[in-house]
Structure 1
Amino acid sequence: MNSDFMDALTSIEKNKGIDKEIILEAIEQALITGYKRNFNQAQNVRVNIDREHGEIRVFAQKVVVEEVFDARLEISEDAAKSISPQYQVDDIVEIEVTPKDFGRIAAQTAKQVVTQRVREAERGIIYSDFIDREEDIMTGIVQRQDHRFIYVDLGKVEAIMPLNEQMPNESYKHNDRIKAFITKVEKTTKGPQIMISRTHPGLLKRLFELEVPEIYDGTVEIKSVSREAGDRSKIAVHAEDAEVDPVGSCVGQRGQRVQMIVNELKGEKIDIVRWSEDPKEYVANALSPSKVLQVTVNEEEKMTQVVVPDYQLSLAIGKRGQNARLAAKLTGWKIDIKSESDAEELGLYDPNAPLKEDTDLHDQEGFGDQEENYTEAASYEEEDFEK
């Protein structure tokens, strides 16, 4: 090696961000192994690379002893003193043993080490970049797929999307551009592995952050998300400022903001509901688009009993129980839904009884009469925008 090689290492240090000293130390260690293997030597050696000119020298390290039993590892006290009078027993003497043709071996070894270190450094940089993007959203291009994964190019690295993270109503083709949620970033022997998802609730949250400036700047906060990917989702939003309408902010003028998200999710229905500290109000909102007459709360069991009009029972429960299931996930409360007539028969609801402030939401001020849906929510799907 020569000064040109040292200049090349300096260039790598600047361009790749790899400390030149770390590379040189790695080359020195690799040359020790190369020396022992190619020259069939078992002695202890040290390799030194001149940091200015790149000159390589190999030194055998021997212990000073009174009587030599292994000349490869030991040197007599008299022989050591002939080199320098200062040597004493148990000192280490270094004797240069650089082979004449060691330059060829050194060049091959240096090339391998530098290539390996550059590859490791690039992988480390990619990992550092993407570990900060975990639980974030990125746009990628579909490259290929097999029976287990879809492979998506994210620019510097190829991410994988398992079957269970793919939306059931989507098909992916080569060169399709998709937005995906990064669920996990791991270090592996082959470099960083990026796992992505199209079904994760976090994808819906990040899409709203992209489309709604009020969410991005913190004016409106997403409190909770529940999702059955490709079919229906619910999102609860809240604004500390009473003058800000969190639901309206997410919907946008003529539904433009939420329409962008519905389009991105290939027509997935989205219910946007107003979050509330009051579980009665929150649960009632979460059951949108169904109307709710009464909510009774059991704090100990974290359960609510909901009464809905007879004609809206199936709407409240939803297809295969989906609406009630998503509402329960969104609020964190168990929800037992009963029709108005069943609740009356069981003595759980009396439309003619005086208002019970702690349980009955029927005809409360601000929520309208029985013919109106009091829940502050908006439900959107692709058909809404075509009308």
Structure 2
Amino acid sequence: MSSELFDAIHYLEKEKGINKEVLMEALEAALISAYKKNFKSATNVRVDLNEQTGSMHVFARKEIVEEVLDPQQELSLEEAKSISPNYEVGDIVELEVTPKDFGRIAAQAAKQVVTQRVREAERGVIFSEYIDREEDVMTGIIQRKDPRFVYVNLGKIEARLPEGEQIPTEQYEVHDRIKVFVTKVENTNKGPQIFISRTHPGLLKRLFEMEVPEIYDGTVEIRSVAREAGDRSKISVYAADPEVDPVGSCVGQRGQRVQTIVNELNGEKIDIVEWSEDPVVYVSNALSPSKVVDVLVDEEAKATTVIVPDYQLSLAIGKRGQNARLAAKLTGWKIDIKSESEAREEGILTETNEVSESYSEVDEDLFE
């Protein structure tokens, strides 16, 4: 064995971050395997690797016994004494058994095994690097696509974006740069696998954290996210400091902050509402952009009846019930919406309650 192999091991440690000891152990295991296979030996052997000289030696390890029953595993005390008078029964003697042509045979066998161990070690390094990116946003480049998946290069690994995690309104083109949400990282038999999504609510949350400094530093908190990817989303925010406007912080000057996120999500409409521990206020805010006359709360059933002006009924419910559905998902409350006329007929209309204003991406005056 030449010193080039040791040079290669040092190179792999430096360039790929693979521990040298891991590679050396793999190499020793490969050489022991090669020896036993090619020389049909059942002897317990040890391989000694000398980095300085680039050499290797194979030693058979035998136990010293009074009576030898297995010559491949045992050595008589008399033979051991001829090597060294200090040996006693029970000691282990190491005898060099390095074959003359072992270097060539070992190199061939070691190449495959070491390559496998190197691949496993590389996978471990990649897994360690990406496991910390779970529930985070990463930017990748689309490499290719087929009817089921979009393949995204995330640096040292390629991730598959399944059809179910793709935004229906988006077109994915090769070489496009996209942001994806890492839902899970697994270390499988085939190596690390990263599961990514463009539809996960976590993507919207992380994008706001990246775009809004007040969220990143904790001044403003995201309390809840409800999303129907590619169409509309709602996000509730809160600030403990009464001097801080959580909705305004997320909107940004002339809507620039939220517009950046809307652009990233290919025009997905985003309603930003202020969170409140009062369900009357919170549900009213969540139904933005519609106006609310009153909210009746059933604490036990965690349900609300919301009364809106007649002309706002369709807006409150939304197209195919989307606005009401997202508001219920955002707040965690059941929401039954009634018009003023219907509420009067049923005798449940109460005095008008003042509700907090909220921002909706559809409020065009913010972008003028």
Give the gaps of 5 or more residues in structure 2. Answer: none
- The residue type paired with residue 380 of structure 1 is E
Matched, 1:379 2:360: yes
Match of 1:265 in 2: 265
* 3-state DSSP of counterpart to 2:125: helix
Matched, 1:321 2:321: yes
For normalisation by structure 1, the TM-score amounts to 0.89
Shift of 1:340: 1.4
Shift of 1:294: 1.1
Q: For 1:156 and 1:24, how far apart are their aligned partners in 2?
A: 25
- The residue type paired with residue 192 of structure 2 is P
Task: Tell me if the contact between 1:259 and 1:382 (Cα under 8 Å) persists in the aligned partners.
Answer: no
Where in structure 2 are the equivalents of 1:271-310 lying within 5 Å?
271-310=271-310
Shift of 1:97: 0.8
Where in structure 2 are the equivalents of 1:158-177 lying within 5 Å?
158-177=158-177
Identity of aligned residues (%): 69
Match of 1:208 in 2: 208
Where in structure 2 are the equivalents of 1:228-243 lying within 5 Å?
228-243=228-243
- Compared CA separation, residues 21 and 130, structure 1 to 2 (3 A): closer
For normalisation by structure 2, the TM-score amounts to 0.93
RMSD: 2.1
Shift of 1:386: 8.2
Shift of 1:299: 1.7
Shift of 1:297: 1.6
* 3-state DSSP of counterpart to 1:127: helix
Runs of 4 or more above 4 Å deviation: 381-387
- Count how many residue pairs are aligned between Structure 1 and Structure 2: 368
Task: Tell me if the contact between 1:274 and 1:285 (Cα under 8 Å) persists in the aligned partners.
Answer: yes
- Compared CA separation, residues 108 and 130, structure 1 to 2 (3 A): same
Match of 1:354 in 2: none
Shift of 1:381: 4.5
Task: Tell me if the contact between 1:143 and 1:153 (Cα under 8 Å) persists in the aligned partners.
Answer: yes
Q: C-alpha deviations, 1:36-70, integer Å up to 9, x for none?
A: 11111122211111243232111112233333333
Where in structure 2 are the equivalents of 1:144-223 lying within 5 Å?
144-223=144-223
Shift of 1:194: 1.0
Task: Tell me if the contact between 1:308 and 1:340 (Cα under 8 Å) persists in the aligned partners.
Answer: yes
Q: For 2:48 and 2:219, how far apart are their aligned partners in 1?
A: 61
Shift of 1:114: 4.1
Q: For 1:18 and 1:155, how far apart are their aligned partners in 2?
A: 18
- Compared CA separation, residues 133 and 45, structure 1 to 2 (3 A): same
Where in structure 2 are the equivalents of 1:42-121 lying within 5 Å?
42-121=42-121
* 3-state DSSP of counterpart to 1:237: strand
Q: For 1:19 and 1:288, how far apart are their aligned partners in 2?
A: 56
Q: For 1:292 and 1:214, how far apart are their aligned partners in 2?
A: 29
Match of 2:36 in 1: 36
- Structure 1 window deviating more from structure 2 (295-304 vs 270-279): it is 295-304
- The residue type paired with residue 377 of structure 1 is S
Task: Tell me if the contact between 1:141 and 1:178 (Cα under 8 Å) persists in the aligned partners.
Answer: yes
Q: For 2:236 and 2:309, how far apart are their aligned partners in 1?
A: 24
Match of 1:13 in 2: 13
- The residue type paired with residue 293 of structure 2 is L
Match of 1:349 in 2: 349
Shift of 1:325: 0.9
Q: For 1:231 and 1:7, how far apart are their aligned partners in 2?
A: 57
* 3-state DSSP of counterpart to 2:288: coil
